[in-house]
Copies of this chain bind each other. A is one copy, B any other.
Amino acid sequence: MQNDHFQPHDHARCISTALDAAERFCAAQGLRLTPVRKRTLEILLSEHRALGAYDILAKLDADGFGSQPPVAYRALDFLTANGFAHKVEALNAYVACTHPGAEHAPAFLICRSCGVVEEAEAAPDKGPLARAAREAGFAIERAVVEAQGTCPACRSAHP
């Protein structure tokens, strides 16, 4: 794994890299990274945790944006549609993407103890699921791959 966000790391770099990638991508594609959208991405980027839509909404409201659910959901729709964030289905929560820009099928390692969500590559054409799909003649369009467990940092802290 090239990055391991369970361990201490230069997180300011995570933030600036992702923000920068989003800005470039939007400029290149003619997408509008408006203030609410950018702020929502910044909120998600602040930690490697999944945040609920209403947590995000509260922060947006505090920052002077709207206070109603669609404010958060619309920004999240934009971010997820363009690959800057993902929804973690097992948590009904949202996390910033750590592989921004590139097309990819995300998989997640979710620590139950500290809440950190690490993104990995799902490799949709490999693994047991892909094999089952081929055998059944099933055409996969989207895959949700989310593992819950304990990260190395938490395990060494509570042995």
- Listed in ascending order, the chain A residues whose CB lies under 8 Å from chain B are 1, 4, 6, 89-90, 92, 107, 109, 111-112, 118, 120-124, 126-129, 132-133, 135-152, 155
Contact = CB atoms under 8 A, between A and B. Distances in A.
A136 B6 contact: yes
How many monomers of this chain does the complex have?
2
Contacts of A129: 107, 109, 120, 122, 127, 145, 147
- Interface on chain A toward B: helix, strand, loop, or mixed SS? mixed
Nearest to A132: B120
B142 A145 contact: no
Given A1-B136, A118-B138, 18 more contacts: A92-B92, A107-B128, A109-B133, A112-B141, A118-B132, A120-B128, A121-B128, A122-B129, A127-B127, A127-B128, A129-B147, A133-B149, A137-B152, A139-B149, A141-B148, A143-B146, A144-B144, A144-B148
